A and B are shown apart, each in its own frame.
Chain A
Amino acid sequence: MRPVVEIEGVVRRFGSVTAVDGVSLAIAEGAFFALLGASGSGKTTLLRMLAGFEMPDAGRILLDGADITRTPPNRRPVNLMFQSYALFPHMTVAQNVAYGLEMERRPRAEIRARVAEMLETVQLLPLAGRRPDQLSGGQRQRVALARALVKRPRVLLLDEPLGALDAKLRGQMQLELKRLQHEVGITFIVVTHDQDEALVMADRIAILRAGRLEQVGTPREVYESPATRYAADFIGQMNFLPGHALPGGLRLPDGGLVRVAGEGPVQGEAVAAVRPERIRLGPGENTLTGTVRALAYHGLDLQLQVETPAAAEPVTLRLTAGEAETAPGIGERVTLGWAARDTRIFPA
């Protein structure tokens, strides 16, 4: 099946800064696609080019196979949910939601019915007569969503959709957005700097760095098999052990060997990477010994920082609630072990 959105070699420069530097992506129909990156990675510029507010300096953007690179925003069957929500302050909730349909010159009765139906979906029907300044942050976010979705766009673009909400509400809305996307069956492209958000909501993630694609894959792929050191560092927590690469592993500065399964450099400066939750107390295929320097209790797990002679940075591991009962205290000597298949190696 043809992808709904195709981005081909898109470049966008602002003066001497290249915000987006030759990005090519294909986004499948019905996907929940996340553009993930730190600030300045070009993710918002890319989104604004999809919406039509920025013109690429090079490359093309196709929607259902048709070139929309130069189509103005009001002629694209694509809607954007702004990070600020950009609700019209002089209009009620219902008027805000109706605006896009009025622009399409739909009959009055149809507009009324679709607005009511949409407000019902986002559970805002009782607030239809309120002004935006009479709503909470979460309610505004849902109005913004309803206003964009009511037009039944081919693709809905969301710019940091949960950025303005507090942590607890954000967690709820992540699942809510996912449920809604499933319900309406519209392709969502969401920009976020929050890797947790991307992992929870998206079914595909593109990691951007300095205007270039670092990795594209499912949440599981980018978490379990990061393609680059940057991706490994950006998504989740990661321990990095610098050393010298050799076939099958990495030689640590203290002479120890870290065994690595899978591809990677076989010579030169390199880093071995292992997730904190993959490390257990006690020896394994890879073993380090060290001293516990800090403990941090997070409710679900207990994080241990262990200082080892093998690396300048302390190694972090996470013990689950059960293991935490018998956790060592600060200053105790511990042995850490993990499997070779849980270890990746990247050029330094």
Chain B
Amino acid sequence: MRDRGSAFLMAPALAWLAGLMVVPCALVLALAFFRRGLYGGIDWTFTLENLALVFDPLYGGILLNSARIAGLVALIAAVAGYAAAFAIVSRPRHWQPVLLFLAVLPFWSNYLIRTYAWIVLLNREGLIVQAARWLGRDGALPQMLYTEGAVIAGLVYAYLPFVILACYAPLSRLPRDLAEASRDLGGSGFTTFRRITLPLTLPGLAVGAVFVFVLSVGNFVTPALLGGGQFQMVGTLVYAQFLTAGDWPFGAALAMVLMAVMMLLLVAQTWVAERGTGGRRDA
């Protein structure tokens, strides 16, 4: 009875996802197993060449570099976001929704506009350079725009609110008396954080970090705009295959590997989170 009821409630969402996402995605991904035709067409003969090409040193290197950058972004966002969420939770209760709203505010503006704002900030005649010039120190500034640093900064900025939100929930739900109990039993503030607060909120942090990684590794707007034409990440590479190189099969193969990596990460994260919640149902 209950099973049928919940199946009925899930049906619209399931149909939507299956019909409008899974099927089209599968169709595009299936292209990975066929040859590239002349002039951007598809030659319908089965091949594994496209998948093999993904692991070619040239493209494999881009994949690894993307993973490295996304990992760095996830790490920076995790540390900064957790700290911010921790700070928000330690403010008085009635201030917390306000602070949280402010942290999430950038989400309400267009992603492109926000990324362009970074260009305004970082470019050769940008705000930072002008400010440095006004202070008489512009000679000391290195190139900022179109660097890996700019891409990392832009991605951290874009996805930091995810981590803050993901960490805020478990931190604010954590009963205050657990930390007090640790202090009472002789734990210092740091020990209490390391042994009680952090382990109990780690699943939230993991959700945030994995999301940031997944969103960053496949991102193509930020690397394209802040990394410049020379800078390649998997996202920009997929984008190029589909829209400029006209090699849909190779683009599909790249996307398939990317998706597999993301899925693996999400499954691992869910598994860790499930194990973590084993002991915290109603204590």
> Do these two chains interact?
yes
Q: Which residues of A contact B (CB under 8 A)?
A: 51-53, 72-74, 79-80, 82, 84, 86-91, 99-100, 103-104, 131-133, 147-148, 151
B4 within 8 A of A: no
Check A133 against B283 for contact (C-beta < 8 Å). yes
Check B180 against A82 for contact (C-beta < 8 Å). yes
Q: How far is the CB of B232 from chain A (nearest CB, A)?
A: 42
Give the dominant DSSP class at B's interface.
Answer: helix
B177-229 interface with A by 8 A CB criterion: 177-178, 180-188, 191, 195-196, 199-200
Asked if A73 meets B184 with Cβ closer than 8 Å, knowing A89-B280, A131-B279, the reply is yes
Which single residue of chain B is at the shortest CB-CB distance from A150? Answer: B185
Chain B 99-132 per-residue mask, 1 if CB under 8 angstroms from chain A, else 0 = 0000000000000000000000000000000000
Provide the residues of chain A in CB contact with B183, threshold 8 Å. 52-53, 72-74
Q: How far is the CB of B182 from chain A (nearest CB, A)?
A: 7
In the complex, what distance in Å separates the CA atom of A72 from the CA atom of B187? 11
Check A79 against B184 for contact (C-beta < 8 Å). yes
* 20 extra interface residue pairs, beta carbon distance < 8 Å, beyond A79-B184, A133-B282: A51-B184, A52-B183, A73-B180, A74-B183, A74-B186, A74-B188, A80-B181, A86-B180, A87-B181, A87-B283, A89-B280, A89-B283, A90-B199, A90-B276, A99-B185, A99-B187, A100-B186, A103-B186, A131-B278, A133-B283
In the complex, what distance in Å separates the CA atom of A2 from the CA atom of B188? 31
- Chain B residues touching A, range: 20 to 34
B91 within 8 A of A: no
Check B280 against A133 for contact (C-beta < 8 Å). yes
In the complex, what distance in Å separates the CA atom of A51 from the CA atom of B187? 14
In the complex, what distance in Å separates the CA atom of A52 from the CA atom of B187? 13
Interface centre among B178, B182, B186, B281 (most CB of A within 10 A): B186
Provide the residues of chain A in CB contact with B280, threshold 8 Å. 89-90, 133
B37 within 8 A of A: no
In the complex, what distance in Å separates the CA atom of A131 from the CA atom of B282? 11
Which single residue of chain B is at the shortest CB-CB distance from A134? Answer: B279
In the complex, what distance in Å separates the CA atom of A104 from the CA atom of B281? 29
In the complex, what distance in Å separates the CA atom of A4 from the CA atom of B282? 37
Provide the residues of chain B in CB contact with A51, threshold 8 Å. 184
In the complex, what distance in Å separates the CA atom of A84 from the CA atom of B177? 8
Check B184 against A74 for contact (C-beta < 8 Å). yes
Which single residue of chain B is at the shortest CB-CB distance from A53? Answer: B180
Check B278 against A151 for contact (C-beta < 8 Å). no
B175 within 8 A of A: yes
Provide the residues of chain A in CB contact with B200, threshold 8 Å. 89-90
Q: How far is the CB of A281 from chain B (nearest CB, A)?
A: 51
Check A103 against B185 for contact (C-beta < 8 Å). yes
In the complex, what distance in Å separates the CA atom of A151 from the CA atom of B185? 8
Provide the residues of chain B in CB contact with A89, threshold 8 Å. 178, 200, 279-281, 283
Check A82 against B177 for contact (C-beta < 8 Å). yes
Provide the residues of chain B in CB contact with A99, threshold 8 Å. 182, 185, 187, 195
Q: How far is the CB of A148 from chain B (nearest CB, A)?
A: 8
Provide the residues of chain B in CB contact with A131, threshold 8 Å. 278-279
In the complex, what distance in Å separates the CA atom of A73 from the CA atom of B192? 12
A-B residue pairs, 9 tightest by C-beta: A103-B186, A100-B185, A89-B283, A86-B181, A86-B177, A89-B280, A131-B279, A73-B183, A89-B279
Check A88 against B196 for contact (C-beta < 8 Å). yes
